[in-house]
Amino acid sequence: MNPYNYKNNQLSVEGLSIKQIAEVIETPFYCYSQSAIQNAYQEYDVNIKQLDSLICYAVKANSNQAIIKTLADLGAGADVVSEGELRRALMAGVPANKIVYSGVAKTAHEIKFALEQDIFQFNVESENELMLLNEIACHLDKKAAIAFRINPDVDAKTHAKISTGKSENKFGIPISKARDIYQKAAKLEGIVVQGVDVHIGSQLTDLVPFKLAFSRIKKLVTDLNQSGIPISAIDLGGGLGVNYEQKGEISHGIEAYCQIVKEIFTGMDCQIILEPGRSLVADSGLLVSKVIYTKQGEDRLFLIIDSAMNDFIRPSMYDAFHHILPISKKDTQVTYDIVGPVCETGDTFAKNRTMGKMSEGDLLGIASAGAYGSTMSSTYNTRLLIPEVLVKDQDMCIIKKRTDYEVLINQDQLAPWQ
């Protein structure tokens, strides 16, 4: 259910009007509905709990500790890809034994830190990584529980920049080489072979590639078990898309996805791990901005707003569609190119978009911005990182403050000869 609705022509979240929030916090800011995140998690939970399962939230989607804790409090583990994410997950209260560590190039330092925390599993992506992990584990007198991330050579049919499961992509071990590397790993002193992992891409709106990849993984697990390498965990990655356009019914929702997982893996006697990111948090978020100027170009009307590609890069980077909503509903409809203030033509949120007529100073919201929004933001153009607000049952709390210029600019240091 969409947490954002109009009440008396005012867009509100969990019964709280966005306009009221913007009276307290200057735009631009991210706003998240906590209930929306909890509901999405519960939908996974209810539909997957028939299997021995663990839902490891992919922290990269939104790594604010208040968001991680929202999910950890419901029983979620975490999928992390860096020491920074691991630290955040631990600080937000995710138990180490519910943390899986993914990522294509973990450094020696990161491996050591993760081993010291006794995390649940390393998802290993290459033979060289395996060797380094073994060496560090032996040195620390520890055993690293591992899965190999298998590249099943399946086309996820999503945007090329976020497709990861084809043989040409940098990710994982080719499925053709999987059996050999498992044999090798099983002989290593510092390694405990525990699982098989797969993640074929993100924002999948078609469930068929999942079916294909999961079936290949099931076959591999069966083969490994038969060849004397018992597999106790199957990590299916993340990737389920959200309905950004909010058109029609979502035929590829969480329930349908879990149904496929159950159809394929029931009876496997393995723990099933899911790593959803976007599908847990995207729809909870709204990027609230203000119109700075309207500007009539040669053949189009520009709406120039106070957030930019540095705050929210998905439209520039993936040509992503996001609904843009006036905070106060308007009757007259106007067509705009909606752009930010950064000096790049790519700093465009939407072209040719028809929406309620906006004036300078009016507020608008970029919808479904809860995933890969704040985590992908930068300070490009020396713009400050923007605040984040969590809303729950008409309460609101700032869960990240705006950075200030002093902190931002003082990170630079002049060289002694200057």
* Shortest distance, position 170 Cβ to ligand LLP, whole Å: 11
Work out whether 238 is an interface residue with ligand LLP (CB under 6 A): yes
Class of residue 192 by CB neighbours under 10 A (exposed 0-12, middle 13-18, buried 19+): middle
Work out whether 63 is an interface residue with ligand LLP (CB under 6 A): no
Our CB check for ligand LLP shows the closer of 88 and 314 to be 314
* The one among 28, 165, 253, 277 contacting ligand LLP by CB under 6 A: 277
Work out whether 88 is an interface residue with ligand LLP (CB under 6 A): no
Beta bridge partners of 204: 240
* The one among 74, 96, 131, 162 contacting ligand LLP by CB under 6 A: 162
How far is the CA of 367 from the CAs of 270, 273, 326, 370, in angstroms? 38, 29, 11, 8
Q: Is 343 a catalytic residue?
A: yes
Class of residue 134 by CB neighbours under 10 A (exposed 0-12, middle 13-18, buried 19+): buried
* The one among 134, 202, 271, 289 contacting ligand LLP by CB under 6 A: 202
Work out whether 199 is an interface residue with ligand LLP (CB under 6 A): yes
Out of 31, 270, 343, 397, which one is annotated catalytic? 343
Nearest to 235 by CA among 197, 270, 199, 265: 197
Kindly give, in sequence order, each residue whose CB lies less than 8 Å from that of residue 282, ignoring residues fewer than 6 positions away: 61, 242, 244, 368, 369, 370, 371, 372
Count CA within 13 A, CB hemisphere, residue 110.
17
The one segment of 22-30, 55-63, 174-182, 382-390 that binds ligand LLP by CB under 6 A:
55-63
Work out whether 275 is an interface residue with ligand LLP (CB under 6 A): yes
3-state SS of the chain: helix, strand, coil percent to 5? Answer: 35, 25, 40
CA pair distance 24, 248, nearest whole angstrom = 35
CA pair distance 246, 188, nearest whole angstrom = 50
Work out whether 279 is an interface residue with ligand LLP (CB under 6 A): yes
Our CB check for ligand LLP shows the closer of 17 and 164 to be 164
The one segment of 45-53, 178-186, 208-216, 237-245 that binds ligand LLP by CB under 6 A:
237-245
Please list the active-site residues.
Answer: 343
- Can you give the binding site for ligand LLP, defined by CB under 6 A? 58, 60-61, 79, 102, 162, 199, 202-203, 237-240, 275-279, 314, 318, 372, 376
